[in-house]
Amino acid sequence: MVLADSYFAAEDPHLHAYAESLGAQLVVADLAARDGSPRHDPLRLASAYADIMGVSNPT
């Protein structure tokens, strides 16, 4: 599985093919921090991992 930020994935038209060439599935999610810094938002990243792993979020 390859997890990519939606902005990054939109910028790279070959990303899907790259993931497939590795035998992986591409998962695209909104992962960026909202403050404009070039980093992932930890809660968004954790949520994306939980979705991929099928972990439910108890509320």
What's residue 3's pLDDT?
Answer: 96
What's residue 16's pLDDT?
Answer: 94
Q: Would you say 40 and 32 are in contact if contact means Cβ atoms under 8 Å apart?
A: yes
What's residue 57's pLDDT?
Answer: 59
What's residue 36's pLDDT?
Answer: 86
Q: Domain boundaries in the chain?
A: 2-53
pTM: 0.79
Determine the Cα angle at 30 with ends 43 and 40, to 5°.
Answer: 50
Question: Which residue positions in the chain have pLDDT lower than 70?
Answer: 57-59
